[in-house]
Structure formats: structure tokens, C-alpha cells
Amino acid sequence: MEEEQKIPLLLQLYFGESAEKAQRGASERLVKWCQAFEGWLWELKRQYTSHMDDVAVQAWKRLARTCARLPWELETADIEQHAAWLHAEGYSPSMICKSLSMQARFYRWCDERRIDAETPAGFNPAAGVRRPKVERYAGATMLSRGEVERLLGALRADKSPLGLRERAFILARLRTGVPLIRLQQLRWGQIEVDKAGAWVRWQTGGERRSLPGEVWQAMRDYLEASGRLGQMREEIFIFAPL
């Protein structure tokens, strides 16, 4: 029995239940774009540990369902209209930006490999679409000063190595205001201590910044309780998982 031919994902996104029929009548050009879409998704899976390919599929699914034009037929005005539809449907600015980014990335990937000789070089109708402004921490619920103090009070009550680690980490986050990733990647060699107190260089070769005394003491308490203080070397992460 002849093996059933797999229906390309791009055809499924565009034609839904009619994808099998569309596959039988697909032009050579459409086949190339379908193969390119599969190749692009495979690279996303290989390059990223997160579900980047799922985000890409959903972005193109929404576009295919709202713009009844094939990828090489789309114009910037079509993508702009699609972005307006996303906004009207209540999608967040960050999600709209992700969708537009995924659409532009696929076009760029195809252009770099010239998968369609009939499109002009640099063809990317999603590249020039204006993206909504994304406000940092939009929608986030901020803790009051009282809530922060109660949180720190609860952390002070836990004298275990893990409790001291959590207190030092959260205290550093609150008192320094640096991005989360900076604290997660903080190494012992970035800390400098002199008569004026403790200092930290958040980036290699960067300007050293004052490290609040209570934060430095909390770090030392955690490292001592976990038995790591005497073993610390420049390249060791301070907040390594216990």
C-alpha cells in the first residue's frame, strides 16, 4: 500500500480541512514555500530551547486565517491590517510584536536562501510594519512597602542555607534593581571589597557600583551557612543552585 503523503504544515494553516485537496493541486511555487516553512521551523527548534517554533506557528496561523493571500502575495498593508486586527481582538502589545517578529523572520530566512526567485531581493512585507510600544512591567502588580517588609521579615525567619540564599537573592534584587539575569549570572570575581565597602561590576570591564552593605552581608551569611564561603573563586557563581 502506498504510504500516505504528509500534508505540509503551511498548507494546513492556510487551508484547514481543505489542505489535502490543496496539496494535490499545489503549484511548484507553493511547494517551495511549504518546504521552506518546515525547514525554518526545524532550525528554530534546533537553535532555541524554548517553544519558539510554537510561537512561530501560532503567528502564521493567525496571519493565514485573517489574510487570504499566500506568503509571496502579501504586502506591507496586509500585515499592517493584520496587526490592527490583533489589537482589536485584545492581543497584548508584546504578543503583537512577537507575531510580527516571527513573520518578518520567516521572510528574512527565505530571502537569505532565495527560495523564491520570483520575489525581489529583500522581499519582506512584515519588516517595515510599525510595532506597538511595549511598556516594561505593564500590568504588573507592585508590592507596597509594607508587603516588601513583611516578605523580608518572613525570609529572615528561615535560617536554613536555602532560606538564607533566597533572602540574599531577593534582597539584592530589591536593593540593586538590576535585571534578574544579572543576579543569576553573578560571579565571585565581580565583587570587590575595600575600606569603603563592597562593590560590584555587573559587566566585564564595566564601572563598579556600590553593593549595599546589607546585601553583601546577606550574601556572606548564605555562603557561610552553605559551606561555600571558603571555597569561592573568581569564576564561581554566587547564587548557584543548592
Q: pTM, whole model, 2 decimals?
A: 0.60
Q: What is the pLDDT of residue 149?
A: 87
Measured distance CA(185)–CA(187) in Å, rounded: 6
Strand, coil or helix: 151: helix
5 pLDDT exceeds 60? Answer: yes
75 pLDDT exceeds 80? Answer: yes
* Alpha carbon 223 to its chain's center: 31
Strands of the chain, DSSP E: 191-194, 197-200, 209-211
Measured distance CA(33)–CA(214) in Å, rounded: 58
174 pLDDT exceeds 50? Answer: yes
**How large is the angle between the packed helices 28-47 and 52-66, nearest 10 degrees?**
150
**CA Rg, the chain, in Å?**
26
